[in-house]
Amino acid sequence: MSQFTLYADVRKGRRPSFIEAAPPGEARPLVDAFAAALRRLGLPVETGVFGAHMDVELVNDGPVTIWLDSAELRGTAED
């Protein structure tokens, strides 16, 4: 989970923007709580050093779901 960003804006350009993501001091406890919740469900969770640059290696096996709020992309989402 450490290399995975939990919040990104994809409405403009070809790359996600993380400008509205929580600052590190606020984000770290949220990531720790999320990892702890997954562990309580019995899921194996590996974490690294929060905010550190890390090289990771993975093998994708199966589909990946990326949720894009299409209403917000069109500018019609209700706030």
pLDDT band at 46 (very low <50, low <70, confident <90, very high): confident
| pLDDT at position 68 over 50 | yes
> Given this structure, which CATH class describes domain 1-79?
alpha beta
Catalytic residue (one of 5, 47, 65, 76): 5
Listed residue (6, 3, 30) closest to 18, CA to CA: 6
**76 catalytic, yes or no?**
no
Listed residue (65, 3, 67) closest to 31, CA to CA: 3
Alpha carbon distance 51, 60 (integer Å)? 23
Q: Which two tokens stand for residue 50?
A: 């929060």
Put simply, whether the predicted model's pTM sits higher than 0.75 gets the answer no
Q: Which pLDDT belongs to residue 39?
A: 96
